[in-house]
Amino acid sequence: MPRRRDPERFEERRAVILDAAAAEFAASGYVAATTASIYRRAGVSSGTLFHYFPTKLDLVLGVLESGRSETARVLSQIGEATAGEDAVLAYAAHVEAELADELYPGLVRAVGDVERLEPVRAVLAAETAVIDEFLAHHLARHLEVDPSACRSDARAVRWLLDGASGDALAEPIPPGSLVDAVRTLLTGMSRPPL
């Protein structure tokens, strides 16, 4: 008789494995990280690891998908709590906090090792689309225009956030500076063209 799977336990174990994979990828890079180091870090057997994630690529995709889900959750939370300029600035503050995470630089480098692969590009593109939609929606509320008119403005804000993300690989971003930079950009967007 087949064993019954407890969905809650399954998700808990999956989360433990993904946390261990993220830490290992951040510490060693994608290429140097091994599935053995990941299952040891997670405190599970190799069979358990491969049951959840058959390949190392599946592990990195799981880490990225988990990040995409977390981003969507945070954006939803921000959107429920505030709107317009305040929502955009709240997201900038969230990004700033992410950049301060000690795993951030190593994890970005690890993803850089595999970002040319189509499944990785697809997950990253899905996350970018969610962010762009959120930004366009809240910029439209801030500027009192149709969201379709804010796509390029949303992209400009995301480019600013992405640029700060790149800078954070070299040195920490001073607290509050990313939020201030986004506020300055939004102020410029609010002014009529010369």
Would residue 1 count as lying in a domain? no
pLDDT tier for residue 74 given thresholds of 50, 70 and 90: very high
Instruction: Tell whether 114 is covered by a domain.
Output: yes
- Asked whether residue 100 is domain-assigned, the answer is yes
Domain that holds residue 159: 55-190
pLDDT in tens, 82-106: 999 999 999 999 999 999 999 999 9
Residue 11: name the closest of 52, 41, 44, 39 by CA: 52
- Rounded Cα–Cα distance for residues 83 and 143 (Å): 12
Q: What is the CATH number of the domain that holds 96?
A: 1.10.357
Q: What total number of domains does the chain contain?
A: 1
At residue 2, does pLDDT exceed 80? no
Residue 27, in any domain of the structure: no
Decide if 139 contacts 88 (C-beta within 8 A). yes
Residue 119 lies in a domain: yes
Whether residue 36 is contained in a domain is answered as: no
Contact present, 182 and 93 (Cβ < 8 Å): no
Residue 66 in any domain: the answer is yes
Question: Is 156 within a domain?
Answer: yes
Here the tokens at position 168 are 């954070």
The pLDDT tens digits of the residues spanning 116-146 come to: 999 999 999 999 999 999 999 999 999 888 8
pLDDT averaged over the chain? 92
Nearest to residue 93, comparing CAs of 161, 154, 153, 150?
161
